[in-house]
Amino acid sequence: MSLKTLIVDDEMPGRAVLRNYITSHEELELVGEAENGTAAVEMIEKFQPNLVFLDVQMPDVDGFGVVEKMGDRMPATIFVTAYDQYALRAFDAQAVDYLLKPFDRVRFERALTHAREVIAGQEQTQIGAQLMALVQSARSGPAASERFVIKSGGRITFLSLDEIDWVEAAGNCVRIHVGNQAHQLRESIGHIVERLDPSRFVRVHRSVIVNFSKIRELQACNSGEYIVVLRNGKELPCSRSYRTALEERML
């Protein structure tokens, strides 16, 4: 049986690896590649693929968001992820599979075999319902991360929450600041907010999250905003839209 297949990944290298593996199988018909979640939803509705390779970490609409938008119309899915360890546990409990970056052909083939079995043995609505259950399980995972795993230059760095001074948005990524070092992580700042303990971190700007214990003082500005001064002397803006939340934390 020919399987119409769609790739969804916001990074070109990731799409290239999947494309290479997929096109080596005659029974897989690659119908398209989406660079973000919004495009993924449009292409799923247009091409109605049997199988989707779906990146979890994407800006704006992430992989879980794609599943939520499609509901029980979501095709069989192999998730592709780099960080969400709690989500991996949810994947293990569902009739789907995942690929942990970086993955090789052996792991790809194993996930593909599993996907074929799911497609052959279940109705579309059953698959979609299971995927929705997976997303709900993953979304309701641990309320906060206890550490971040940073992969860069062949090294893996583990950062505990207590080490983090502040976090800033940097395009489709975030920079996590620890002392004089900055570690880049390919996640949106919105996702980082969800992973951080709200009793320990506060968002002070649409692009800035601060470890509350690292704040030394607040300086009021005539514009109604604050300058947040950290213990290391770093000054960060607190916009008026986030001022109330910060003031509530001070009570």
203 in the same domain as 157: yes
CATH number for 24: 3.40.50.2300
Give residue-wise pLDDT tens across range 185-209. 888 888 788 778 888 899 999 899 9
115 in the same domain as 18: yes
- 111 CB-near residues (< 8 Å, 6+ apart): 78, 97, 98, 99
What is the span of the domain harbouring residue 50? 3-139
120 in the same domain as 203: no
Give residue-wise pLDDT tens across range 11-57. 888 899 999 999 999 999 999 999 999 999 999 999 999 999 998 87
Give residue-wise pLDDT tens across range 103-155. 899 999 999 998 898 888 877 777 878 787 777 766 665 445 567 778 776 67
3-class secondary-structure state, position 2: coil
Give residue-wise pLDDT tens across range 217-237. 999 887 778 899 999 999 999
92 in the same domain as 67: yes
Average pLDDT over all residues of the chain: 84
Distances (CA, A) of 215 to 192, 228, 236, 245: 19, 7, 10, 15
241 in the same domain as 172: yes
154 in the same domain as 106: no
Give me the helices (H) in the chain, please.
Answer: 12-22, 37-47, 63-70, 85-92, 105-121, 124-139, 189-195, 240-250
3-class secondary-structure state, position 156: strand
* Number of domains, the chain: 2
106 in the same domain as 23: yes
Whether the predicted model's global pTM rises above the 0.85 cut: no
Cα–Cα distance between 152 and 135 in angstroms, integer? 28
CATH number for 162: 2.40.50.1020
